[in-house]
C-alpha cells in the first residue's frame, strides 16, 4: 500500500535528521567519537529513506 511506504520513508527521513542534529551537537562539544557514531546512524537512515522513497514513489505511480 503506498500510504505505508510513504510513512516508512518519512520515518527514516525524520530519524536521519535527528541523528544528523545529534551528531552536530557532539562534534560542537568536541566529542568526535560520539559524533561519528551518530553520523553513521544518520547515513544509515538516509540510505533507508532513499530506498523507501523510491519504493513509495513506485507504488504511488502504479496506482494511477
In the prediction, which pLDDT does 14 show? Answer: 97
For residue 57, what are the domain limits?
A: 2-62
This prediction's pTM: 0.83
Mean pLDDT in residue range 57-61: 88
pLDDT digit string, tens, across residues 18-50? 999 999 999 999 999 999 999 999 999 999 999
Task: Tell me the torsion sign for CA atoms 18, 23, 26, 27.
Answer: negative
The total number of structural domains that make up the chain: 1
Alpha helix positions (H), the chain:
2-28, 32-62
Contacts of 25 (CB under 8 A, 6+ apart): 35
What gap in Å lies between CA 41 and CA 64, rounded to an integer? Answer: 35
In the prediction, which pLDDT does 62 show? Answer: 82
Amino acid at each position: 500500500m503506498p500510504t505505508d511506504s510513504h510513512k516508512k520513508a518519512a520515518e527514516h527521513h525524520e530519524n536521519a535528521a535527528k541523528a544528523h542534529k545529534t551528531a552536530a551537537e557532539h562534534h560542537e562539544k568536541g566529542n568526535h567519537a560520539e559524533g561519528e557514531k551518530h553520523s553513521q546512524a544518520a547515513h544509515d537512515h538516509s540510505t533507508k529513506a532513499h530506498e523507501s522513497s523510491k519504493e513509495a514513489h513506485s507504488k504511488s505511480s502504479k496506482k494511477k
